[in-house]
Amino acid sequence: MNMKALKVVGIILLVLIGLPLVLALFVSNDFSYEQSILINAPVEEVWANTNTLEKMDAWSPWTAKDPELSQTFEGSPGAVGEKNCWDSQSEAVGAGCQTITKVEAPYLLASHLDFSRPNEAEGEAYIRLKATENGTEVSWAMESSLPYPINLLNLIMPAEKAMGPDFTAGLNKLKSIVES
C-alpha cells in the first residue's frame, strides 16, 4: 500500500472514531423516562400491589424475561431499606440491586438502583399513585446518568425507545392484576 492510500485510510479511521467521540461531548449524560397508566381501582388497591419490592416483582417485565432468574429479598417489606438483588444470565435482565429509599404510603415508593451487569450504572426510580375520578393514575419513572462516551446512546436510542416497551408491559400487567 502506498503512502497516499495509508493517509486516506488514516483520515477515514480518524473521522469514524473521532467524530462520535467529539459528538458525545455535546450529548446530555442524563437519561430519564416516565410512563403512566390509569387503573380502574382505588389508590389503596393499587398500593397493595406496588408497596413492596416483592409485590412489584409480580408485574415486573424483567422477571418475566428470565424464568431462571435468581433473586433475594432483604429487610422489612415496604420499608426504607428493603432490598431486592437479582442475577440473570439474560443480558436483557442482567444483575443488580434495588433498595427502597422513600415511602409515602399510599402514594409514593422511591428506590435506588445499582446495576452491575451487563453495564455498571446507578439510577433512581419511583412509583407514584394519584387518585382520579376514574380510579388511580400510576406513574412509573427511572432516572440515571450515562458516562461519556456511552451517553451517545441517548441519540441512537432515546429513553422512550429503550424503556417504553418494558414499562408498557409492566404497567399493563399491574393493571390486569389489580382490575381482575
pLDDT in tens, 111-151: 999 999 987 889 999 999 999 999 999 999 999 876 667 76
Q: How far apart are CA 89 and CA 114, in angstroms?
A: 17
pTM, full prediction: 0.82
Three cell numbers, residue 158: 432515546
Smallest CA-to-CA distance from 90 within 39, 166, 153, 16 is with 166
* pLDDT block averages, 10 residues each, the chain of length 180: 80 76 69 93 98 96 91 97 96 95 98 91 95 97 78 67 90 98
Tell me, what's the pLDDT at 1?
Answer: 65
| Range 54-66 burial, b when 16+ CB lie within 10 A, else e | ebbbebbbbbeeb
Q: 27-179 adopts what CATH topology?
A: Alpha-D-Glucose-1,6-Bisphosphate; Chain A, domain 4 (3.30.530)
Residues 6 or more apart whose Cβ sits within 8 Å of residue 77: 52, 53, 54, 55
Three cell numbers, residue 134: 376514574
Q: How far apart are CA 176 and CA 180, in angstroms?
A: 6
